[in-house]
Structure 1
Amino acid sequence: MDPQPSARDLRHRQRQDEIITAARRCFRQYGFHAASMAQLASEAQLSVGQIYRYFINKDAIIEEIVKRIIDQRMVEISNSTHTPKLPALLAWRKVADENDEALMLEVAAEATRNPRVASMLAEADNRTFNHALQTLQQEHPQFSEEKIRACVEVLAVMVEGTAFRRLTPQKASAERLYLIYQQLLKQLLETEDK
């Protein structure tokens, strides 16, 4: 049994949460690369020194944001994005949190400049990919590991492409896209494993 956290631990966690919330707002406004610790401190209504009591640097804040977004995505995948529900999510471009989607695009951009963020993104991708592999394997135990990996890769392209496309107005009806996504998934997941 895990021991109950102390009042001090709870305060520490609450302050970290407040800093992360402020950082999300700040990073959405300025981007990870351009946002300064002074801007972040101002948004959090703290001094820069106070922030450093909770996070050793800006990369540690980014890492925590990415971790939280990926943890939330794991819950969403487990609860709502099994493949039968995927066509609707893609066609209507549904997301749990549009701000998180925007932050993940910012993470991808920052990863081109920052090797530490690139490493975080690769780790997050591995976690998400492996979780999707397990989910699809449970849904389709008749498929080989190679087929499952290929299916997850195609699904990742569809989901991530849709996330990027959310930045632009949808140019086809969601109803039509829904039918097409159903057909694509049927073809992808109901064909014989060769």
Structure 2
Amino acid sequence: MSLQTEARDARHRLRQDEIITAARRCFRQHGFHGASMAQLAAEADLSVGQIYRYFTNKDAIIEEIVRRIIDSRVQEMVVTSSNIHLAEMLAWRVVKNEDDDALMMEVAAEATRNSRVARMMVEADERMFSHACDKVSQLHPEYSAERIRACVEILAVMVEGTSYRRLTPQKASAERLYTLYQQINDYLFKSEES
């Protein structure tokens, strides 16, 4: 690859990054469904035509945002050695990236109206679920595939439910919730013989 091609590709990636950054702000303010390409272009300080040089439509931008969020979450899963901090994160409603959580809620809402976005959600969930199953399998090679899938499903419900519950005041003390979440975690990850 020539230096000229590399430079052009780098400029292209930089412009895509700028559009994605502007789109994230715009979508957080107006929602995926409510944000127009004109609003997105204004936020990016570009014309709509310029945005179409980098993304075919708004769904393609949403798809790239989802891909990046899932890439980040998968990477976090890869570098984390266990689920030891899960109870703490759930009880105190700790969030790694509030914007990512909010954008994924927007994606879920848009998925109720847009079949392409619904497919993106299914693909993103499959990717996260698969990586989570691989992680649990590494930590607990003695578990059956069915038990791993069940444990990951329960964890997903707790994590995603907590993401939604962050929108409302917490009804129980974080300390009490921590104890209960830790008991659930201990139950899920005890040995098959126990």
Common fold, TM-score beyond 0.5? yes
1:35 aligns with: 35
Uncovered stretches (5+) of structure 1, i.e. residues with no partner: none
Distance of 1:78 and 1:168 partners within structure 2: 31
Q: 1:97 to 1:184 in 2, by over 3 A?
A: same
1:56 aligns with: 56
2:95 aligns with: 95
- Once the two structures are TM-superposed, the CA of residue 80 in structure 1 deviates from its matched residue by 3.4
2:47 aligns with: 47
Percent identity over paired residues: 66
Distance of 1:152 and 1:72 partners within structure 2: 18
Q: Could you report, residue by residue, the CA deviation over 1:37-85 in whole angstroms, capped at 9, with x for unpaired residues?
A: 0000000010000000110100000000000000001112223372222
Distance of 1:193 and 1:161 partners within structure 2: 30
Runs ≥4 residues deviating over 6 A:
2-5
Distance of 1:109 and 1:3 partners within structure 2: 44
Matched, 1:121 2:118: no
Matched, 1:148 2:113: no
Distance of 2:74 and 2:59 partners within structure 1: 22
**Equivalent runs, 1:5-44 vs 2, <5 Å:** 6-44=6-44
Partners of 1:41 and 1:48 within 8 A in 2: yes
2:111 aligns with: 111
Distance of 1:132 and 1:3 partners within structure 2: 39
Q: Could you report, residue by residue, the CA deviation over 1:101-140 in whole angstroms, capped at 9, with x for unpaired residues?
A: 0000010010011010001110000000000000001111
Q: 1:50 to 1:92 in 2, by over 3 A?
A: same
Q: Which amino acid aligns with 1:94?
A: V
Distance of 1:73 and 1:3 partners within structure 2: 34
Distance of 2:158 and 2:85 partners within structure 1: 14
Q: Which amino acid aligns with 2:158?
A: M
Answer with 76-85 or 144-153: which moved more.
Answer: 76-85
Distance of 2:60 and 2:168 partners within structure 1: 31
1:86 aligns with: 86
Matched residue of 2:85: which SS? helix
Q: CA RMSD in A?
A: 1.8
Answer with 46-55 or 74-83: which moved more.
Answer: 74-83
Distance of 2:143 and 2:127 partners within structure 1: 21
Distance of 2:191 and 2:107 partners within structure 1: 36
Q: Could you report, residue by residue, the CA deviation over 1:145-167 in whole angstroms, capped at 9, with x for unpaired residues?
A: 11111111111101110111111
Matched, 1:77 2:77: yes
